[in-house]
Every structure is written in C-alpha cells, then in structure tokens.
C-alpha cells in the first residue's frame, strides 16, 4: 500500500504588521468621525452611537497582539477601513498566486524537490479572489507543474480538508505528490468598522507538500497516520458575499457580505466538537491523548485553544504541547494550524506523535494525525 507523508512546508508572511494599538487608534478615529457625522440622529435616538474599541479587550478576549496584512495603509485610514490592493491585469500574476508561489517554493526546497516532482496543486482557502479560472491552475502554471489543479473552500478547515484530498490522491496513485496551498487574504473580507470582529484576522499563505513515502528520504518529514473530517451546518459564522449579490440591489453594502459571526456561540459550540473529534480520531487509530507530543490547533482564539487542549489532555497544556502563533498572526483562517506546524515541528523526534486540527465556519473540523519519521 502507498503511504503518504508530509515532506515539506512553506510560509509566506506579508511584511506589513498592525499591532492592536494601531488598529484600535484607527478604529476609534472612525468611531469619532461616524458619531460626529450622525450626531443629530444619535441625539434623536434614530441611530445608535458606535462604541470605542480597546487593545486590552482584544488581547484578553483573543490572545491576539498583532497581525500581518497585505496592505496596512488602507486598513488604518479611518475614512476607508479596507485594504487597498490594486486590481491587476489578466496578464499579471494575481496577488493570491504571488503568495502561493513563495510558500510553495519554500515547501519544495524544504522537501528537496522541484516542480517536476509534483503532479497536483490544491489551492485550499476561505476566499478566492476570483470565480475562475481556478487559482490553483494559475499557481500550477506559475510553478511549472504538469498534471492537475483545483480549488477548494471549507473556510478555516480548508487546509486540513485539502490534506485529506492530497493523501487520497497520493495513496490511490492519482498523483505522486500534491501541493496544498492556502493563500489567505482575510483582511479582504473583514469588516474593519465592526468593533466585535475588526481585530480577528490577518493575512498569510502556507504550503504543504504531500508525497509518497517511497519518494522521500528515510527520516524525512511526517508520516500521515490518518485524517478525520467533520461538518455540521451552522449560521454562526457566515459570509453572504457571492455572485448572486448583484441580482438583488437591496443587499448591496449590507455587512453580511463580509465575515460575520456569533463569537460566543461559536466558542461554546465548536470547542467540545473539536475535542471530541480529536479524541474519536485518536481512538480510531488505536491511540490516546497521552500519546500526543504536540497539538497544532487552528489559531482563532487563545482561550478556545486552551479549553480544547485541556479537554483532550485532561489537564492544562503547555505552550510546547499546544504552540501559539495567533499572538503574532491573528486568525489566518486555514493557514493558522499549518503556520503552527511549520514553525513548531522541527524539534520533534522520531516516533513523536502530533495532531494538526483546524475548525471554523460550516461548522467544519479537520484532524490530521502525524508521526515524526
Ligand atoms: N473593544 C472593547 N470591547 C469590546 C470589543 C472591542 N473591540 N468587542 C466587543 N466588546 C465588548 C462587548 O460589547 C461586550 O460587552 P458587554 O459585556 O457589555 O456586552 C464584551 O466586550 C464581551 O463581548 P463578546 O461576548 O463578544 O466577547 P468574547 O469574550 O466572546 O470574545 C471573540 C469575542 C474573541 C470573538 C470570541 O467570542 C471568539 O473568539 N470566539 C470564537 C470565534 C471563532 O473561533 N471564530 C471562528 C471564525 S474563523 C472562520 O471559520 C472564518 C473563516 C473565514 C475567514 C474569512 C476572513 C475574513
């Protein structure tokens, strides 16, 4: 039987950062402008005054300290509050493709492979910057890969669902190796005017190379012991942006065409589902939580990750057991758990077990159990 391994990972981190104080300062300037512009309506009770944001709340509620973004100026302009990412001509590479190429080249280099060794590309992320042609086919062309490519979107769980698709393709012989790339431009679909969520997301791109074990060096990378996916429909994380928006003008400009969520409900409903999914997955592989050396969890909220790890392990996790990158990156949707894996896996020793687990809109949960070779 063909076995699949993760032989290399890559990461593109946009150079621009916004810390909480900068973000809050811009938000509060926007609030002052808004409240001044609507002063009469607010006084007459027709409009609700907006409230200021606070860095202390953001760090306490989420653990986020800063985020990397494609464009800083547009987000921090209180009259704009949206990244400025100029459209490119059809003859130029798209922004997502540029990010994907950098992350993929690092994954290939770390695996010691070239484009000629790869048969497929999956671009798996929350938002594609266009409907078609598939972003993955553009990335395939940019990297010079033969074979096939396709896009998939399962929100924050896109990368782990993409990993399962890659494992399937490798193990059933459809491809020798597959690149799973997650170019997340979360700032493009974040409402920076919404106090409840303006701090949540950042931008980044990850890439993972999944190969046949037989094509890799002994001791290289991670054996994939199994993947387990779970979905359950929920409206608590939703984005109604889509191609039918133009067919009903009454919806244009409504906030639901960007990311919206019931954060508290998500926290309460998703955390136990994730812990259960990981435990069930380990059980199906004949393993227990005590066998785990590390958990690379989706990076949305620090308190949520600590709760999930506590439920799985039966005690508080150490930072070494459940590493955190969301303080630096915020929530980068599907890239988050892979960034944690990319940055915190080189120190594992042969035989060490870990789980990559993402969770988010859908609801969707993806668990991937790996063993250091
Ligand atoms: N500053 C100051 N005070 C604030 C702020 C703020 N910015 N925001 C809210 N408050 C206030 C509230 O008004 C409230 O006040 P009061 O108690 O008087 O009513 C108080 O603070 C508490 O508010 P919340 O109950 O909302 O705060 P929580 O403690 O629940 O924290 C979180 C909010 C951080 C959002 C938390 O609920 C959370 O992280 N939940 C989980 C969210 C999650 O994991 N979501 C996953 C989404 S990711 C995904 O799948 C998306 C994929 C698509 C990506 C697309 C990119 C855009």
List beta partners, residue 178: 120, 210
Element (H, E) at 102: helix 95-111
Judge whether 323 lies within some domain.
Answer: yes
Percent of the chain with pLDDT over 90: 99
Burial level of 8, CB count in 10 A (0-12/13-18/19+)? buried
pLDDT, residue 308, reads 97
* pLDDT tens-digit map of 327-337: 999 999 999 99
Q: Any idea what the CATH number is for the domain that residue 351 is in?
A: 3.40.47.10
pLDDT at 352: 98
| DSSP sequence for 282-311 | HHHTT--GGGEEEEEE--S-HHHHHHHHHH
Rounded Cα distance, 207 and 178, in Å = 10
Q: What would the mean pLDDT of 330-348 be, rounded to a whole number?
A: 98
Q: Atom 29 in ligand 1: which residue has the minimum CA distance?
A: 61
Distance of alpha carbon 221 from its chain centroid, rounded? 22
Q: Provide, rounded to the nearest whole percent, the portion of the chain with pLDDT above 70.
A: 100
In the prediction, which pLDDT does 77 show?
Answer: 98
What's the CA dihedral at 315, 319, 323, 326 to 10 degrees? Answer: 100
**Number of compact structural domains in the chain:** 1
Among 52, 59, 70, 196, which is best to mutate for testing ligand 1, by the most ligand atoms less than 8 A from CB?
196
Query: Does residue 310 lie in a domain region?
Result: yes
- The closest residue, in CA terms, to atom 11 on ligand 1 is 196
In whole angstroms, what is the distance from residue 298 CA to residue 267 CA? 13
Q: The tokens of 3 are what?
A: 């076995």
pLDDT for 262 equals 96
Residue that is written with structure tokens 């938002």 in the block: 127
* Cα separation, 77 vs 248, whole angstroms: 30
Measured from the CB, is residue 196 less than 6 Å from ligand 1?
A: yes
Task: Indicate which residues carry an active-site annotation.
Answer: 156
Q: Does any domain span residue 93?
A: no
CA distance linking residue 65 with residue 23, whole number of Å: 10
Range of the domain at 330: 222-372
Q: Is the CB of 263 under 6 A from ligand 1?
A: yes
Quick check: is 349 in a domain?
yes
| Res 278 pLDDT > 90 | yes
CA-wise closest residue to 6 among 214, 299, 287, 213: 213
DSSP 304-330: HHHHHHHHHHSSPPPTTTS---HHHH-
Is 128 a member of any domain?
A: no
With bands split at pLDDT 50, 70 and 90, how would you rate the model's confidence at 71?
very high
Average pLDDT, the chain: 97
Is the model's pLDDT at 253 over the cut of 90? no
186 C-beta closer than 6 A to ligand 1: yes
Ligand 1 centroid distance, CA of 190 (Å): 13
CA 264 – ligand 1 centroid, Å: 7
What's the CA gap between 164 and 69, in Å, rounded? 28
Of 263, 266, 298, 304, the one to substitute when testing ligand 1's pocket (max ligand atoms within 8 A of C-beta) is 263
In a domain? residue 335: yes
Q: Is the CB of 360 under 6 A from ligand 1?
A: yes
Residue 226: Cβ within 10 Å count: 16
The pLDDT tens digits of the residues spanning 73-116 come to: 999 999 999 999 999 999 999 999 999 999 999 999 999 999 99
Give the distance (Å) from ligand 1 centre to CA of residue 217. Answer: 45
Pocket of ligand 1 contains residue 158 by CB under 6 Å = no
Closest CA to 368 of 360, 357, 359: 357
Interval between CA 113 and ligand 1 midpoint (Å): 42
Contact between residue 369 and residue 353 where contact means Cβ atoms under 8 Å apart: yes
Closest-lying ligand 1 atom to the alpha carbon of residue 157: 50
154 CA → ligand 1 middle, Å: 21
Ligand 1 atom at minimum distance from 303 CA? 39
Report the 10 Å Cβ neighbour count for 361.
23
Mean pLDDT score, 8-20: 98
- Ligand 1 neighbourhood includes 330 CB (under 6 angstroms): no
Is residue 17 over pLDDT 90? yes
- Which of 30, 54, 61, 358 has most ligand 1 atoms within 8 Å of CB, for mutation? 61
Ligand 1 centroid to Cα of residue 124, in Å, is 25
Distance 319 CA to ligand 1 centre (A): 23
pLDDT band at residue 36 under the 50/70/90 scheme: very high
Q: pLDDT tens for residues 113-157?
A: 999 999 999 999 999 999 999 999 999 999 999 999 999 999 999
Q: Indicate whether 129 belongs to any domain.
A: no
Measured by CA distance, the residue closest to atom 38 of ligand 1 is 263
261 lines ligand 1 (CB under 6 A): yes
Residue 121 included in any domain: no
């Amino acid at each position: 039987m063909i076995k699949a391994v993760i032989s290399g990972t890559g990461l593109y981190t946009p150079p621009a950062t916004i810390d909480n104080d900068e973000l809050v300062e811009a938000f509060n300037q926007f609030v002052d402008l808004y409240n001044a512009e609507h002063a009469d309506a607010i006084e007459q009770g027709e409009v609700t005054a907006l409230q200021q944001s606070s860095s202390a709340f953001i760090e306490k509620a989420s653990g986020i300290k800063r985020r990397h973004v494609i464009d800083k100026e547009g987000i921090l302009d209180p009259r704009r509050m949206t990244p400025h990412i100029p459209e490119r001509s059809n003859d130029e590479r798209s922004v997502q493709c540029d990010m994907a190429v950098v992350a993929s080249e690092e994954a290939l280099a770390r695996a010691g492979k070239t484009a000629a060794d790869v048969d497929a590309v999956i671009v798996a992320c929350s938002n594609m910057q266009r409907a078609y042609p598939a972003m993955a086919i553009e990335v395939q062309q940019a990297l010079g890969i033969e074979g096939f490519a396709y896009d998939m979107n399962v929100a924050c769980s896109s990368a782990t669902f993409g990993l399962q698709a890659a494992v399937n393709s490798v193990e059933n012989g459809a491809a020798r190796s597959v690149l799973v790339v997650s170019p997340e431009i979360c700032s493009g679909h974040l409402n920076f005017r919404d106090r409840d969520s303006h701090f949540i997301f950042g931008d980044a791109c990850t890439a993972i190379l999944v190969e046949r074990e037989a094509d890799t060096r002994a001791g290289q990378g991670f054996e994939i012991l199994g993947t387990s996916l779970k979905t359950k429909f929920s409206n608590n994380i939703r984005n109604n942006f889509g191609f039918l928006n133009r067919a009903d003008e009454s919806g244009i400009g409504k906030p639901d065409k960007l990311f919206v969520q019931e954060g508290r409900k998500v926290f309460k409903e998703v955390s136990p589902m994730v812990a259960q999914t990981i435990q069930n997955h380990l059980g199906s592989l004949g393993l227990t939580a005590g066998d785990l050396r590390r958990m690379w969890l989706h990076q949305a909220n620090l308190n949520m990750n600590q709760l999930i790890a506590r439920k799985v392990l039966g005690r508080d996790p150490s930072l070494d057991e459940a590493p955190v990158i969301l303080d630096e990156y915020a929530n980068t949707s599907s890239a988050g758990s892979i960034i944690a894996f990319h940055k915190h896996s080189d120190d594992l020793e042969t035989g060490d077990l870990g789980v990559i687990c993402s969770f988010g809109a859908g609801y969707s949960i993806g668990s991937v159990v790996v063993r250091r070779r």
